[in-house]
Amino acid sequence: MAHLRDAAECETFVEEVEPEELADHCDIREVVEIPTDPREGVSFEHIRKAIHTVPKIGACLIVTNYSNPLGCSLAEERKKELVTLLAKHRIPLIEDDIYGDLARPDDKRPVTAKAFDAKGLVLLCSSISKTLAPGMRVGWVSPGKFRDAILQLKTNQTFACPAITRMAIAEFLKNGSYDAHLRKIRAVYWELLCRFSGAVARYFPAGTRISRPQGSFVLWIETSADTTILAARALNEHRISIAPGCIFSAKGNNYRNCLRISCAHPWSAKIDRAIQTLGRLAKELNGD
């Protein structure tokens, strides 16, 4: 079992939208996928190449901290470099920081690229979905110079989120319980990541590779089975839900030998058996 070295996931460029036209963002013509290193994060070489070859880039969308599914982050100096590079070409950066609060227990919370945004071109987005409760549907954006466009989009699409849930979350954040909660779940998620990784190492076919996330709670697994079939069989025959690799590709047909597992479930004998079942299915599909 080795650390996943060369796999690429897709951070994306959204083409064909001028910064001023962010309100028309629904009109995305093409998504350019940018390879991502599981340790270093998104490839700047490929970003530069896209800037020079794609005629009209509307925005760049990146999960800068503990990206889904690889769990890697851009180092602080690389975030700065990214903001400078994109600003030079007037390309807005949509920074999805939804996992940023989920550092390992002994690590500091990483900074955001937004911290280096002098031109208002970074739209920093997050929510409480990964830290508190996905069902609350409370998120936010710090939109830089796109405030009016974002307000208009929000008004057009849903007008507003229910006030009662926003007020409940605001109260929770204000009275300090959020920090205590984060301290607790960061330790819990880290322990779960270790347990799930151990089980994958035990049960999956020889040669399987697992990511070593810097934070958050998902594992990216590279194996030799077709994971689209694996995911369908796991769900239909065993009620086990995993994310097949292909859903992490804009074109929908890459990473068919990879899968993502969420480790945000309390450890139990049932979970251990579920990973054992996945490993057995992977072996069966390989013809082992």
Ligand X SMILES: Cc1ncc(COP(=O)(O)O)c(C=O)c1O
Q: Would you say 99 or 196 has its CB closer to ligand X?
A: 99
Closest C-alpha among 286, 152, 159, 288 to residue 226: 286
Q: Would you say 134 or 207 has its CB closer to ligand X?
A: 134
Q: Would you say 139 or 252 has its CB closer to ligand X?
A: 139
Q: Would you say 229 or 250 has its CB closer to ligand X?
A: 250
Give the contacts of 8 (CB within 8 A, at least 6 positions apart): 35, 36, 37, 43
**How far apart are alpha carbons 119 and 113 in whole angstroms?**
12
Residue 137: CB minimum distance to ligand X, A: 7
Residue 218: CB minimum distance to ligand X, A: 8
Residue 188: CB minimum distance to ligand X, A: 18
**How far apart are alpha carbons 39 and 53 in whole angstroms?**
26
Residue 13: CB minimum distance to ligand X, A: 16
End-to-end alpha-carbon separation of the chain, Å?
A: 17
Q: Would you say 161 or 285 has its CB closer to ligand X?
A: 161
User: Which residues are at the interface with ligand X (CB under 6 A)?
Assistant: 63, 68, 96, 98, 127, 129, 134, 139
CA dihedral 206, 207, 208, 210 (to 10 degrees): 120
Give the containing element (helix H, strand E) for 210: strand 209-210
**How far apart are alpha carbons 132 and 240 in whole angstroms?**
23
Residue 97: CB minimum distance to ligand X, A: 9
Neighbours of 157 (CB within 10 A): 8
Beta bridge partners of 222: 209, 258
**Strands (E) located in 92-190:** 93-96, 122-127, 139-142
| Three-state secondary-structure class, residue 269 | helix
Q: Would you say 12 or 203 has its CB closer to ligand X?
A: 12
Residue 133: CB minimum distance to ligand X, A: 10
